[in-house]
Structure 1
Amino acid sequence: MTQLDSFSVPDFHLPFGNSKHPQAARANAEATAWAVQHELVSNAVEQFAGIGFGHLAGRVSGEVPYERVVLLAEWMAWSFVLDDQHDHLIRTGELAAWRPVTEAITEHLETGRSDRAAALGNPLVNGFIDLCDRIMAGMGEGNAARYRSHVPLMLHSLDQEAGNRRTGGHPSVQDYILMRRHSSQILPMMDMVEAGLGIDLPQHVHDLPEFQDLTASALDVISWGNDVFSLPKEHACGDNNNLVSLIAAREGCTLMAAVQLVEARIQARIEEYLVAERRLFQVVDADGAADPSVRAALDRYVRSYEDWMIGADLWQRYECTRYSDERFAAGMESAYTRPDLVSVA
């Protein structure tokens, strides 16, 4: 028997409500079709659709217009392919092919064009260009600036993950947590939801320590929960980028004991989120010159964070086949992964 033979994901007791967009299933189908059209997947399309990115988009989007739910679902579909393709290159030792792709993505993000002929024509790059142009067209100045800053951080975090796997070492828990906030790929998606809700909070609100504490708490709750859901796959393939595996190695305990420790961390982080929320509103309300519209927008933004925390949990438990798929649990690549999607020229 292995350490995970009796593994099950605990209930994280998230004290938030959630509702899903009534057309989430339609968004899932449309995002799947988009991924096929852009040649991100060509086989096992039904398995790819089983990830349920449209359902996740529908759970975290609140009352945004349907076309923005679909756009978010398409970005999520692209993001899962990005993650799986990066994993494939790590497994095959072909990471040299990764840099031209990320450089082309970054160039388009910064300039609105990409002149890197080696990467143009790659489905990941073309898919990003299509998405990025439509995403930016629906964003205010502040939203767009944050999105532009978050995508490169996301890409850099994947390089950090590759480095961790290459050395086989274990980063400190704090270093891992900081990296995981970006490798979760959530921040650009949060930017999209903020824009879809018509919210563009002033940068000075984002810069408040209480706001940053709130954001960090929400990201940690989501990311650490995902580490528990994805533990069987990552343990099976020797991926050390997982909080449970890291704590087990650091504490010298079993994986199941480490799951309990991570569960306790998640519960404590939820409480810290609620404290940060109260402190944030106290700071804003104490500012007599604060614009009432900013206060209302902040209230909606906080509700969006709660949608993300509970929505991601419900999606993983009930609407996503990714973490229950036998290939995934065995540490194998997904059947829809295209070995030729990114290759060394």
Structure 2
Amino acid sequence: MAQLSSFSVPDFHLPFGNSKHPDAARANAEATSWVLQHELVTAAAEQFSGIGVGHLAGRVSGDVAYERVLLLAEWMAWSFVLDDQHDHLIRTGEVAAWRPVTDAITGYLRTGRIEGAAAGRNPLVTGFVDLCDRILAGMSEGTAARYRAHVPLMLDSLDQEASNRAATRGPGVQEYVLMRRHSSQILPMMDMVEAGLGIDLPQNVHDLPEFQALVASVLDVISWGNDVFSLPKEHACGDTNNLVSLISFWEGCSLPDAVQAVEGRIQERIEQYLTEEERLIQAVIALPGTEPSLVDAVTRCVRSYEDWMIGADLWQRYECTRYSDERFAAGLESAYTRPDLVSAA
């Protein structure tokens, strides 16, 4: 394994402005209270609060009511617990215990019911049900359908991550890039933000190749940047689900050189995004019967994606202690992780 002798996160030069909801700190405190109330976290609440989910939600939600920011912050809090508990099962070799939880979640998305008494009492499942009901209540039919599709893809990607860590070597770079778009867990959050902003694009816009290319660029910029921020932890614990580590392995270069390579890829992706933005607007204008209101909605959606890219970067640099925490950098589990959570009834 390549060595990480020195490390600093480069400036990714994201050419976008950003503002934060004035009640982001309040949302962070209340989202932390929510995970405690649902017993997703029972210790080290201060460390969990340091993740700063409310600050991230406040940076990407746009100009919406506080309740929308809080709901997103609570979903983000749940997502971080989900990710960390899955990591715990990988470390302890208990990934098989994950299936009843994910089956309960995906089953609820399909039917609105929880099947299996034990899974139905698990805090990850009860927390999901609480959030899911409130999330879907504020969504249009089309946005709700995309949210229902994105959550299972997110869960499947965690299974892919577990398989990658059990393999003798990591996945290919392009295979990883495709998986990472879902393991970032961003797509369901984007659905929530669009619903909060009242953006309801028709499916034929979502199906445009130009729209799909734009979304892929956004996900890549955010995910690859996060891989740089999280490199010390993932390198320390031997997790190859990281673009920097994979480039280092497959291209035979040092980790600092691989960081530079990822920085270059991010800059290229930003340039592609700016080009794709123009192409998308032209493609929408060319659709039969396009009204000015649709072009305006697409433009607002594009602005929201820019908030995501710059907001995630600013949050990681200035408002989130997760990536600078000594335990995290050493590759250890978070202090708030519950070893018994998946089996809890």
Cα distance in 2 for partners of 1:41, 1:287 equals: 49
| Higher alpha-carbon deviation: 18-27 or 108-117 | 108-117
Aligned twin of 1:170: 170
Please list, as runs of the form range in 1=range in 2, the aligned pairs for 1:126-141 lying within 5 A after superposition: 126-141=126-141
Equivalent pair of 1:32/1:48 in contact (CA under 8 Å):
yes
Counterpart of 2:60 in structure 1: which amino acid?
V
Distance 1:196 1:343 in 2: 34
Give me the TM-score of the superposition, normalised by structure 1: 0.98
CA RMSD of aligned residues (A): 1.1
What is the DSSP-based 3-state SS (H/G/I as helix, E as strand, rest coil) of the residue aligned with 2:58?
helix
User: Aligned residue for 2:318?
Assistant: 318
CA distance, structure 2, for counterparts of residue 343 and residue 166 of structure 1:
22
Gaps of at least 5 residues in structure 1 are: none
Q: Which runs of 5+ in 2 are unaligned?
A: none
State percent identity of aligned pairs: 78
Pick which of 269-278 and 284-293 moved more.
Answer: 284-293
Describe the SS at the equivalent of 1:240. Answer: coil
Q: Hey, what's the Cα distance between the residues in 1 that align with 2:175 and 2:215?
A: 17
Matched, 1:37 2:37: yes
Aligned twin of 1:71: 71
Aligned residues of 1:60 and 1:308 also touching (Cα < 8 A): yes
Residue 300 (1) aligns with residue 300 (2): yes
Q: Give the Å deviation of 1:30.
A: 0.5
Q: How many residues align?
A: 344
Kindly state the Cα deviation for residue 168 of structure 1 after the two structures are TM-superposed: 3.2
Deviation at 1:6, TM superposition (A): 2.2
Where 2:117 maps in the other structure, the secondary structure is coil
Equivalent-residue separation in structure 1 for 2:296 and 2:275 (angstroms): 19
Q: How does 1:110-259 map to 2 (within 5 A)?
A: 110-259=110-259
Q: Which amino acid aligns with 1:213?
A: A
Per-residue CA deviation, residues 206-232 of structure 1 (Å, 9 max, x unaligned), is 000000000000000000000000000
Verify: 1:334 aligned to 2:319, yes or no: no
Q: Secondary structure at the match of 1:118?
A: helix
Which consecutive aligned stretches of 4+ in structure 1 deviate over 3 angstroms post-superposition?
Answer: none
2:144 alignment partner, SS class: helix
Give the deviation of 1:293 after TM superposition: 1.4
| Cα distance in 2 between the residues matched to 1:331 and 1:286 | 50
Quote how far apart the aligned CAs of 1:284 are: 1.6
Aligned residue for 1:290, secondary structure, equals coil
Judge conservation of contact 1:64–1:193 (CA < 8 Å) in 2.
no
Comparing 149-158 and 4-13, the one that deviates more: 4-13
- 3-state SS in 1 of match to 2:119: coil
The structural deviation recorded for 1:288 is: 5.9
Equivalent position amino acid for 1:271 in 2: E
The alignment partner of 1:119 has SS state of helix
The residue number in structure 2 matching 1:268 is 268
Q: 1:288 and 1:186 mapped to 2: Cα distance? A: 31
Q: CA deviation at 1:234?
A: 0.2
Aligned-residue offset at 1:344: 9.1
Equivalent residue of 1:168, what SS? coil
Indicate the residue corresponding to 1:92 in structure 2: 92
Q: Which moved more, 1:113-122 or 1:43-52?
A: 113-122
Name the amino acid aligned to 1:336.
Answer: Y
